[in-house]
Structure 1
Amino acid sequence: MSYSDTNDPAFESMGNAAHYTNIASTLFFAYAVVSFVKDDANDPLFDKSWKQDGFCVTHKEIPFWNSHDACLYFDMMAALLLGALYWKQRNALGMERVNEIFGPSILGILAHGIGHGAVAHRMREMGLPTLAEEDDLDKTTIDENINERIMEINMMDDILGVGEVSERGRNVFVMVCFWVGLMKAALPNLRMAPFAAMVLAAMAGQQFVDRQFAFTYVQTILLVAFSVNQLARKKEEKDFVYATHPMVVGVPVTFIGWIESTQCSAFVKDSFYGHLIYDGFIPVAMLVWYVVCYLQIKESRDNSFESIAKTADRKGKVKVS
């Protein structure tokens, strides 16, 4: 294989295999979650703490510093940094296919952070114990108190809102931003009408999803939608960019999901700030993928220019002679 050729036919086979692997891994994870999360007695896989929330959440009792808050902060900073990189390279020769995916992905990262911010806000509204109250409660009581209140979160309430009209409007606005941003990242080249239909379908489906399955629901839709969308691309578009994205971003993300959901109490909660391991990996992987594509395309571009220059030089010598 010539690594200076970003359109080598082998990239199509590599990309197809990677995207099918991504779909299979994502669906298997969803199947395992649905099969075992509700069955504590026969669950050989998932961490108890992760199952309580559908996420690995640390520091639930600290306002503005639990895992959801940390994901919001990290995603906002990552979106700014990646956005600056995208802006600088938006018109770079040969980067059109990369930017077609990378640009909307930044919007997806931003929307992802907003979603976590909304969950963190909801937790604060529920009146979880503060650090000042811990002196009167032992650790077990605190955890039980928190988990009982978190269990009260209803997906319908989160989306449609409860209480005042302004609150319901805010919640709907956040949910629309969340799904529009993420679906744009998953389906960057989809026309407006089918894109809007996909967003509405995803929002409607979430109304019937238990809190414990929220993360799995979102991950399944986004990763499967992205890979199906990419697999449907024209043959000539299945190049280096097509092949490397699922290898660097898609498939590894599903593995991070497995690590978080099975090792939350073992080390993820304390060593990686819970769900931040998942949210943090995505922009880092996107950055690595972008740099790899840039270097590959730059090499291919430089080789092409060099070849053109040599051809022109040979023609010039022939004319002189």
Structure 2
Amino acid sequence: MSLALVGNIAHLCNISLVFMYARAMWKYGEKDGTPFDERWLEEGFCRAQDTFVEEMHLDSGLVMSVIAFPFMSFLYWKHSKSASSFFKQDTEPNEETDTDESDSDEGDNDKADSPSEFVEDEEETKDAALQYATNAMFGVVGHAIGHFIIFEALKSEIYPDGSMKAIDDLRNDSIGLMFRKIGPGYFLFWFPLLKSYMQNTNWAIVLLLAKFVLFGSLQIPIKFGFAYAQCCFFLCFSIDQLVSTSKENKGLAFALYPITTVIPSILISWVEATSCSTSDIMRSYGHVVYDAFMALSYPLFYVMCTVIEKRKMEKSKID
């Protein structure tokens, strides 16, 4: 089975899980016979026992930040290392000299061609795992900012009741207060996260799509905002990957990324929503479990790609 096929199946599986999760949320919600835990239904998050809701958002934001910034520093180092090798190659002096005029002209032509050839080689051998992980970590930062925004809104007492639709909460607000409520969410949460998932999609399209998903979030009870956001991000991610990734680029990173990141995340979110009161881990740590796994899944993905490729290389040398 090819890696492209494995990746395609994984993305189709992710899309199926998203629709199952969304359908259950839409069909049952708070109705009688709902499979969702009562404590989870209070806020749409599983809050650890003996904590306030604002503490949960602060803890989640801090945990994701603590995980994200060291790994982002590592990724920056990897990118800068690659860039330094590029500039080194680009500016490397030509040590060979020749008194013959024709040889000198030929050497000048080779020197002129070498930078473009090097750039082309770099594009062909681009580290896909590094690109996936880098984009994902910007999404983690946006996710953390989202929790900080909710924390600040709760502390400022402008965060509405979770059972209310956001659009109803905005109806009597001034323009300034409306922007204060939804502006930071659009620029610091919806847009950066959507772009981190839709890595192959044009920025302008993502900006427009972020407006649509933001508008959609205003039409549902606020406490279901997390479930809605997760479905939007994961669905857009798999569609972007299936449609915009060429067959030549559907390698190990393409196949492994959904298996190690989004699919486990949506399964954990289902566990959180249904066992907030019954699971010891969820009672003790709540939604932080989901956020911690999500933030850690991207370094895990990168390490797995690196290890697998290294072993393949070692095996090929032995053979």
The match for 2:277 is 265
TM-score of the two chains, using structure 1 as the length reference: 0.76
The one-letter code matched in structure 2 to 1:73 is: L
The match for 1:89 is 78
Q: What's the secondary structure of 1:264's corresponding residue?
A: coil
- Kindly indicate whether the alpha-carbon contact (under 8 Å) linking 1:253 and 1:278 is maintained by their aligned counterparts in 2: yes
The one-letter code matched in structure 2 to 1:274 is: G
Instruction: Name the CA shift for 1:281/1:270 in 2 (closer, same or farther; >3 Å).
Output: same
- Residues 92-118 of structure 1: per-residue CA shift (max 9 Å, x gap): 585621122211211110110111111
The one-letter code matched in structure 1 to 2:10 is: A
Does residue 1:239 correspond to 2:251, yes or no?
A: yes
- Residues 210-253 of structure 1: per-residue CA shift (max 9 Å, x gap): 11321111011111111111112111111111111111111111
- Kindly indicate whether the alpha-carbon contact (under 8 Å) linking 1:159 and 1:175 is maintained by their aligned counterparts in 2: no
> 1:172-321 counterparts in 2 under 5 A?
172-232=183-243, 233-267=245-279, 268-271=281-284, 273-300=285-312, 306=317
Distance 1:155 1:247 in 2: 34
% identity of equivalent residues: 23
Distance 2:223 2:20 in 1: 17
- Residues 68-98 of structure 1: per-residue CA shift (max 9 Å, x gap): 1111101111220120121122255856211
Distance 1:284 1:201 in 2: 29
Shift of 1:38: 2.7
Shift of 1:266: 1.4
- Residues 29-67 of structure 1: per-residue CA shift (max 9 Å, x gap): 11101111130x221x11011111111123676486x21
Does residue 1:52 correspond to 2:52, yes or no?
A: no
The one-letter code matched in structure 1 to 2:296 is: V
Shift of 1:175: 3.0
Instruction: Name the CA shift for 1:114/1:156 in 2 (closer, same or farther; >3 Å).
Output: farther
Instruction: Name the CA shift for 1:79/1:230 in 2 (closer, same or farther; >3 Å).
Output: same
Shift of 1:123: 2.1
Does residue 1:68 correspond to 2:61, yes or no?
A: no
Question: What is the aligned counterpart of 2:33 among 22, 35, 42?
Answer: 42
The one-letter code matched in structure 2 to 1:42 is: G
- Kindly indicate whether the alpha-carbon contact (under 8 Å) linking 1:56 and 1:269 is maintained by their aligned counterparts in 2: yes
Shift of 1:165: 2.9
Distance 2:172 2:139 in 1: 23
Instruction: Name the CA shift for 1:153/1:82 in 2 (closer, same or farther; >3 Å).
Output: farther
The one-letter code matched in structure 1 to 2:266 is: T
TM-score of the two chains, using structure 2 as the length reference: 0.77
- Kindly indicate whether the alpha-carbon contact (under 8 Å) linking 2:163 and 2:223 is maintained by their aligned counterparts in 1: no
The one-letter code matched in structure 2 to 1:270 is: R
- Kindly indicate whether the alpha-carbon contact (under 8 Å) linking 1:57 and 1:275 is maintained by their aligned counterparts in 2: yes
- Kindly indicate whether the alpha-carbon contact (under 8 Å) linking 1:95 and 1:294 is maintained by their aligned counterparts in 2: no
Distance 1:38 1:117 in 2: 27
> 1:2-151 counterparts in 2 under 5 A?
10-39=2-31, 41-43=32-34, 45-58=35-48, 62=52, 66-90=55-79, 91=81, 96-126=127-157, 150-151=161-162
Distance 2:170 2:69 in 1: 27
Query: What is the CA RMSD across the aligned residues, in angstroms?
Result: 2.9
- Kindly indicate whether the alpha-carbon contact (under 8 Å) linking 1:26 and 1:220 is maintained by their aligned counterparts in 2: yes
Gaps in structure 1 of 5+ consecutive residues: 1-8, 129-148, 311-321
Distance 1:176 1:162 in 2: 20
Gaps in structure 2 of 5+ consecutive residues: 83-121
- Residues 100-152 of structure 1: per-residue CA shift (max 9 Å, x gap): 22112111101101111111222223399xxxxxxxxxxxxxxxxxxxx7447
The one-letter code matched in structure 2 to 1:84 is: S
Tell me the number of residue pairs that the alignment of Structure 1 and Structure 2 aligns: 275
